[in-house]
Amino acid sequence: MTLAEPAPAGQRSDAPAARAVELRKTYGSGAATVHALAGITVTFDRARFTAVMGPSGSGKSTLMHCMAGLDRPTSGQAYVGSLDIAGLDDSDLTQLRRDRIGFVFQSFNLVPTLSAGENITLPADLAGRKVDRDWFDYLVTQLRIGDRLSHRPTELSGGQQQRCACARALINRPDLVFADEPTGNLDSNSSSEVLEFMRRSVTEFGQSIVMVTHDPRGAAFADRVVFLADGDIVDELAAPTADSILEHMRTLG
């Protein structure tokens, strides 16, 4: 099978970027059973910026991990494009993550022995693929890290590190980027920079992004907010603003 659907922008199939159907993830057994995901069904559209919110322990990270091929659901299906990833083995999942998904984590995003530039091209290098130089230059210029490329991660500020992580997430032009609290450790200035870049990448070249966040102001950059509680979707909000999100959170309690 081939995982890489030929997917230059604009020619992609009509399938949504990713989709979960009746996704269930259970930890433990008996009295100690925890339903991290309680049969969740959700669709993430193409060229859309979706924020996932919810209290701690509501299953946000678990949802992301199961949909990104980092973890296996107990039952249900997860699709990336039209590909059901439940049937993939470790090798195929690795290739899927490398070629079709981008990641930004809350911290420890970069390999300490590689320079910033090498970290950005890491997925391409792992695939043994030539880096699209124009694309690379565009990303580092947009993210204002062009003068930091030869530095090691320890020599970068937290904001610069997260911007490198963003560039790395996008370098392979993935179908979908998952970001798990990417601004959780950043001050508000750095946060805005990262969030503005993500917003632009959705608007300007149709990137699909799913971002987990606690911050209503961050979620306000998204096109749509999905609210999770106890492993299922309890509500959602289109074209959110910080105020409307706060309002919603209050009503949800």
**Contact positions toward Mg ion, by CB under 5 A?**
61
Query: Number of residues in contact with another protein, rule: CB under 8 A?
Result: 29
Question: If DSSP codes are grouped into helix, strand and coil, which group holds residue 84?
Answer: strand
Which of the ranges 52-60, 91-99, 132-140, 152-160 carries the binding residues for ligand ADP, by CB under 6 A? 52-60
Check residue 106 for interaction with another protein (CB under 8 A). yes
Check residue 76 for interaction with ligand ADP (CB under 6 A). no
Return the one option of another protein, ligand ADP, Mg ion, none that residue 34 interacts with (CB less than 5 to 8 A, by type). Answer: ligand ADP
Check residue 125 for interaction with another protein (CB under 8 A). yes
Check residue 242 for interaction with ligand ADP (CB under 6 A). no
Check residue 89 for interaction with another protein (CB under 8 A). no
Which of the ranges 42-50, 105-113, 135-143, 212-220 carries the binding residues for another protein, by CB under 8 A? 105-113
Q: How far is the CB of 58 from ligand ADP (least distance, A)?
A: 4
**How far apart (Å, rounded) are the C-alpha atoms in residues 68 and 59?**
14
Among 2, 33, 56, 251, binds ligand ADP (CB under 6 A): 56
Cβ proximity to ligand ADP: between 105 and 205 the closer is 105
Check residue 24 for interaction with ligand ADP (CB under 6 A). no
Among 19, 46, 48, 61, binds ligand ADP (CB under 6 A): 61
Instruction: Please name which of 41, 64, 69 lies closest in space to residue 53, comparing C-alpha atoms.
Output: 64
What length is written for the chain? 253
124 phi-psi bin (left φ>0, alpha ψ -120 to 50, beta other): alpha
Return the one option of another protein, ligand ADP, Mg ion, none that residue 113 interacts with (CB less than 5 to 8 A, by type). Answer: another protein
Interaction pattern, residues 46-75, with another protein; x per rule: CB under 8 A = -------------------x----xx----
Question: If DSSP codes are grouped into helix, strand and coil, which group holds residue 176?
Answer: strand
Which segments of the chain are extended strands (E)? Answer: 18-27, 34-44, 49-53, 75-80, 83-84, 101-104, 176-180, 209-212, 224-229, 232-238
Contacts by 232-235, CB closer than 8 A, 24 or more apart: 232/37, 232/38, 232/39, 232/40, 232/59, 233/40, 233/41, 233/42, 234/54
**How far apart (Å, rounded) are the C-alpha atoms in residues 14 and 89?**
26
Residues in contact with another protein by CB under 8 A are: 65, 70-71, 90-91, 94-95, 97-99, 103, 105-114, 122-123, 125-128, 154, 168
